[in-house]
Each structure stands twice: as C-alpha cells, then as structure tokens.
Chain A
Amino acid sequence: MSLRASTSQTIGPYLRIGLEWMVIEDLAPQGVAGERVRIEGRVLDADGRPVNDAAVEIWQANSHGKYASPEDKQDKPLEKGFRGYGRSLTDDAGAFRFRTVKPGPVPGPDGKPQAPHVTVTIFMRGLLKQLQTRIYFPDEPANASDPLLTLVPAERRATLIAARRGDGVLEWNVLLQGKNETVFFDF
C-alpha cells in the first residue's frame, strides 16, 4: 500500500495553547554526564524584527553520542532522565533558550562520525511547513570534515555554528532572510 504524507499547515499564532504544556528548556537533569552548555538565541524576520510566535525544538544525542531512540542501535551508555528533546517558545524579543550537555559524535551517512551537533526544527506563524537546521559548536576541529556542514557553501557555514559569548553562553540566532540568512535544510 502506498499513501501520500499529509500536508503541512502553519502552526499559526496560537501555538502556546497547544504546545506550552511541554516546554522543555532544561534537557539535562542532574546525573546526566557531559559538558554543560547554555544555548540561547533569537528568531528574526526579513526586517530584523523579533518573531515572538515561534516554536524552536531541538533533538540531540547525549555526551556519549547516543540518542534516546529505538532507532539508535549503538552500544553506548544512555542515562535515565535524558530524552534529548527540547522545546522553547519564543518571547516578545524573539528569544529562545536551552540548558543541555554538549552532544558526543554520532555516525554519519558513511558510518564516519559527524561533528557534535543539535538538530533544530522551527515552526511559526507565516511558515507553511517547518524549517530544519542544525547547531554546531565553536572551536570544534571536527566541523572542518563534518559530512553535512561540508555540503553547505563555505561562506554560509558560519550561520550554523554557535558563537561563545563572554558569559559562556553559546549564542545561535535564526535569521529568516537577508545577507546572513541561516542555512536551512531540505530534509
């Protein structure tokens, strides 16, 4: 039997009603191993105006490079209490925030390790289907040979790499249009 996938529709402006119950901005409770990181950023439209009605969802492996998913058959430790899923709803400044651990490397298309990354799915009013992108980490030598990052035109790769601020927070912004438009993936 062959069916066709249902059509995407916009999340609309009232997403909080349906999605707020499961906001998860702290992904790594005590007992989860790894380097603690804070990732913060803003979603900005073509005019640089904050998008205050976006849902930013992240999905990541733990510090050992293991996903809390039955699809991940790797023999690596998985801590109880680590799901690897986060959801932040942007505020009036367009801001979202996560506290988590830096993920370890996970296998790429050919089995070789990918650079540590967080998968990002974004929904908002005015977006008829989700945007898919990734956050990579600064000062990470593996970025240079990452099988996905190297598919991205070199001059746009920086949009996928978080910047370390003075306070230690990793800043990563979503620019929907313009010169520094974030790279989005056709997934």
Chain B
Amino acid sequence: MSYRRPYRGTQPDYLFPPYASTVKRAPSHALVLLPHTLSELSAPVFGYGDIKPTDGDLTKQHKADPQGERIVVSGRVLDENGRALPGILIEIWQANAAGRYNHRVDQHDAPIDPNFTGAGRALTDAEGRYRFVTIRPGEYPWRNHHNAWRPAHIHFSLFGPAIVTRLITQMYFPGDPLLEYDPMFTCVPDEKARNRLVSVFDWETTMPEFALGYRFDIVLRGREATPMENRR
C-alpha cells in the first residue's frame, strides 16, 4: 500500500533561483526514495474538540468588523481518486485588505487592522466541504527582486489521512495581473497545475447583499490503485 508519486511538473523543485530564498535552503543532495510504511501511511486525527465553530469566520474575531471586502471562500477536499475527505483540518492565514500581515516581520508601510488577525480554521464535513468567511487580502511588495509584488493570496495548510498527504499551498484570485510575475506561482512547471491554485468566482456561494463567493477545491495525494485494478 502506498500513495501515488506526483505527476511530472505538477510540483515545484526545491531549487528555483528566481525565488531567491530557495538558493540557501534547498537541499543539494538527491533525496532518498522512501517506501511508505505505517509511519508515512498514518497521520494525526483532528476533530471538533480542536477548533471552535467561529474559527471559520475571520471577520468576527474582534469587537468590530475588519476593513475591506468581505468574501466567502469554500470548496471541497478530495483525494486523487475523487474520494471526498471528511474531517480534514484546514488552517488558513493571510494579509489584511491593505496587504499587511499582523506579524512583527512585516514592515510594509500599510495599516494594521486591529479588527483582523488573518487566521482561521475549519474541518471538512462528510462530503469534504469547507467554508470560510474572510476579507479579500491585499497585494503587497516583497524584496525578492526589483518592484516585486505578491498577488493576493490566502495560505492553506491541510492534514490528510497520511503524513505523505500533508499539504501547504496558497490560493490565488482569478484575473490577478501579478500572477505571471510571481516566482512562487511560476515555479510550478505544469501550467494546468499552476492554474488549479487560482480560485474561481462562484455565483452559487455568493451571498446576496453580503459577500462574493470564491471556490477553491483541493486535491490531496491518493492511494495507488491495487495491482488487481491495474490489470483491468
């Protein structure tokens, strides 16, 4: 029993010099191929005892409403075999509407919003669905290269059924003109894989008089078909 290896080009390499920080941090030796044992095939289990129901609404964590455009971000978590994954812990974090993180390292000259921490948690339901209410994050500059700007994004962290399905990724917004200049986005060789990081505007989850909806489905690694299924 093991999980599928990534399809060619769908995952970035460790070293991608246009993203300067990879140069001193990417391992230089070849990785050692690891067979999947129980240690890799198992993973911690999380439940409703770990999070609060309100953790999914990033606009209701302080006394007043945060600044910015309210949005609903929702989707499904599936595995590569198309199976919905229930009970998956999702952690998200993001900049505020002005493109500023509530973090000591962020020195960007944009206002901190005292009513926005920018962190949320949710568990997927029986159909693998999750939902967050938040603020559309702002773009912001970084010092990777001259005039470098990150496209608007939300960081996503997911635990799956196995250690080898652990995933940290970023969700982008449709039509963002900064995407093609962003080395974190362009580091993914496969164009289709790259574009799956971009959420889609969604009428169905858009709430009248309240907030636009964006859908972002996430696929975690799936188990290999058994040898018997391969033969069919």
Chain A bound to chain B: yes
A interface residues (Cβ-Cβ under 8 A, vs B) = 1-19, 21-22, 45-47, 49, 51, 53, 57, 59, 61, 67-72, 83-85, 106-109, 114, 117, 119, 121, 123-132, 134, 147-148, 151-152, 156, 176-178, 181-187
**Which residue of chain B is the closest to A18 with respect to CB atoms?**
B93
Known: A14-B105, A127-B26. A72 touches B42 (CB 8 A): yes
Contacts of B50 in A (CB 8 A): 22
- Report which of B11, B25, B37 forms a contact with A127, defined as CB distance below 8 A: B25
Chain B: minimal CB distance from A84 (Å)? 7
The answer to whether A15 touches B93, judged by C-beta atoms less than 8 angstroms apart, is yes
Query: What's the A-B contact tally at a CB cutoff of 8 Å?
Result: 231
B40 located at the interface, meaning its Cβ lies under 8 Å from any Cβ of chain A in the complex: yes
Q: What is the predominant secondary structure among interface residues of chain A facing chain B?
A: loop
Q: Report how far A57 CA is from B222 CA in the complex, Å.
A: 22
Known: A1-B82, A2-B82, A151-B33. A126 touches B19 (CB 8 A): yes
- Report which of B27, B40, B117 forms a contact with A184, defined as CB distance below 8 A: B27
Q: Report how far A119 CA is from B162 CA in the complex, Å.
A: 12
B interface residues (Cβ-Cβ under 8 A, vs A) = 4, 6-7, 10-14, 16, 19, 21-29, 31-45, 50, 78-82, 91-93, 95, 101-103, 105-106, 117-119, 121, 155, 157, 161-164, 166-170, 184, 187-188, 192-194, 196-197, 218-222
Known: A45-B25, A68-B44, A185-B31. A9 touches B39 (CB 8 A): no
Question: What 8 A-B pairs come out closest when comparing CB atoms?
Answer: A18-B93, A126-B21, A1-B82, A69-B42, A186-B31, A85-B44, A185-B34, A128-B12
The answer to whether B27 touches A181, judged by C-beta atoms less than 8 angstroms apart, is yes
Contacts of B10 in A (CB 8 A): 4-5, 7
Kindly list 15 other residue pairs between chains A and B, CB separation below 8 angstroms, not including A3-B80, A18-B91.
Answer: A3-B79, A4-B196, A6-B167, A17-B93, A46-B25, A68-B45, A69-B45, A72-B42, A107-B37, A108-B37, A127-B14, A129-B11, A177-B25, A181-B28, A184-B31
The answer to whether B42 touches A128, judged by C-beta atoms less than 8 angstroms apart, is no
Q: Report how far A109 CA is from B221 CA in the complex, Å.
A: 20
Q: Would you list 30 pairs from A and B whose C-beta atoms are within 8 A, ordered by A residue?
A: A1-B81, A3-B82, A3-B222, A6-B197, A7-B11, A7-B194, A7-B196, A8-B168, A17-B102, A17-B118, A18-B91, A18-B92, A21-B121, A46-B23, A46-B24, A57-B166, A61-B39, A68-B45, A71-B41, A106-B39, A125-B21, A125-B25, A126-B23, A128-B12, A128-B14, A130-B166, A184-B27, A184-B32, A186-B31, A186-B34
Q: Report how far A3 CA is from B192 CA in the complex, Å.
A: 12
Q: Report how far A25 CA is from B119 CA in the complex, Å.
A: 21
Known: A68-B45, A124-B25, A177-B27. A5 touches B80 (CB 8 A): yes
Contacts of A178 in B (CB 8 A): 28
